[in-house]
C-alpha cells in the first residue's frame, strides 16, 4: 500500500450521543478545558450562515488544489461525519463548490473543515451546512491525486486522528481526541457550571474581583494605594 496515495478504514469514531452532548457547549469552553493548547488557527473561518459543527472526523490529506480524495471521502462518509481536509492551506484552487456541497448534504455529511479554499461562497451561506475553510477563490480544483483518507493529519499544529471529535462555532474549530473526549466533556461541564454561578453573581452585584489585585501584587505590579 503506497504511502501518499491510499485509503484506509476508520476503526473507531466518537459515538453519536457524545457528539450531541458536545454540540450544546461553546467551543471556547471546550478549548479552555483542554488548557488552551489546541487550535486550528484563525485562518479557518466560518463559510456557512449559522449553526454549530459537531461530528466524528473523516480525515483527508490532499495535494494542494486537488480534490479527488475529497470526492471519494464524500462517497465514503457515514451520516453525521465531519470531513476534515489538510490541503496545505493553499488558496490558489478551490477544493469544493456548490455541487459537491449539495451532494454532501444529500449523503448526510455533518460538515467540513478545509485547510484550503471553497468557491460558490454564496451557496455555502444559502445551504448552511457547517463549513470552515481557509479562503475563497473562483478557480476550480484538479482531480489527479495523490492523497490519503483516514490517516492522521494536522491543521496549524492541531493533530486530528480519524474518529476524533470535531467541533466548530463562531469562535472557530477544535478537535477533541477520541480517548480524551469523555474527560474533556466532564471538565467542560464543570466550567459551564462555574460560569453560570459567576454570571449570577455579576447580575446580583456580588461578583468577587479580589483575584485581580491579588494577581497584580503577586506579579510585582507597581500601583498607588486605593486603586
- Could you write out the three-class secondary structure of the chain? CCCCEEECCCCCCCCHHHHHHHCCCCHHHHHHHCCCCCCCCCCCEECCCCCCEEEEEEEEEECCCECHHHHHHHHHCCCCCEEEEECCCCCCCEEECHHHHHHHHHHCCCEEEEEEEECCHHHHHHHCCCEEEEEECCCCCECCCCEEECCCEEECCEEECCCCEEEEECCEEEEECHHHHHHHHHHHHHHHHHHHHHHHHHHHCCCCCHHHHHHHHHCCCCCCCCC
In CATH, what is the architecture of 6-178? 3-Layer(bba) Sandwich (3.50)
Question: Can you say which residues are annotated as belonging to the binding site for Mg(2+)?
Answer: 120
Would you list which residues are annotated within the binding site for substrate? 97-100, 119
What residues does each domain of the chain span? Answer: 6-178, 186-219
Mean pLDDT of 174-198: 97
Binding residues: 97-100, 119-120
* 30-54 tens-digit pLDDT: 999 999 999 998 999 999 999 999 9
- At 65-112, the pLDDT tens digits run 999 999 999 999 999 999 999 999 999 999 999 999 999 999 999 999
pTM: 0.95
Amino acid at each position: 500500500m503506497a504511502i501518499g496515495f491510499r485509503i484506509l478504514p476508520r476503526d473507531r469514531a466518537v459515538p453519536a450521543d457524545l457528539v450531541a452532548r458536545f454540540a450544546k457547549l461553546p467551543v471556547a469552553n471546550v478549548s479552555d478545558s483542554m488548557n488552551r493548547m489546541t487550535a486550528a488557527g484563525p485562518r479557518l473561518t466560518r463559510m456557512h450562515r449559522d449553526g454549530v459543527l459537531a461530528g466524528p472526523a473523516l480525515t483527508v490529506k490532499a495535494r494542494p488544489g486537488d480534490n479527488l480524495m475529497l470526492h471519494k471521502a464524500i462517497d465514503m462518509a457515514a451520516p453525521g461525519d465531519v470531513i476534515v481536509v489538510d490541503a496545505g492551506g493553499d488558496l490558489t484552487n478551490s477544493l469544493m463548490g456548490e455541487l459537491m456541497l449539495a451532494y454532501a448534504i444529500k449523503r448526510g455529511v455533518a460538515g467540513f473543515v478545509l485547510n484550503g479554499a471553497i468557491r460558490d461562497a454564496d451557496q455555502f451561506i444559502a445551504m448552511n451546512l457547517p463549513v470552515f475553510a481557509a479562503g475563497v477563490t473562483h478557480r476550480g480544483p484538479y482531480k489527479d491525486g495523490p492523497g490519503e483518507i483516514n490517516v492522521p493529519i494536522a491543521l496549524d499544529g492541531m493533530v486530528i486522528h480519524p474518529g476524533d471529535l470535531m467541533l466548530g462555532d463562531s469562535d472557530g474549530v477544535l478537535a477533541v481526541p477520541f480517548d480524551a473526549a469523555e474527560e474533556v466533556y466532564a471538565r467542560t461541564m464543570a466550567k459551564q457550571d462555574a460560569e453560570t454561578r459567576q454570571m449570577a453573581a455579576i447580575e446580583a452585584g456580588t461578583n468577587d474581583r479580589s483575584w485581580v489585585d491579588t494577581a497584580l501584587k503577586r506579579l510585582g505590579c507597581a500601583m498607588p494605594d486605593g486603586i
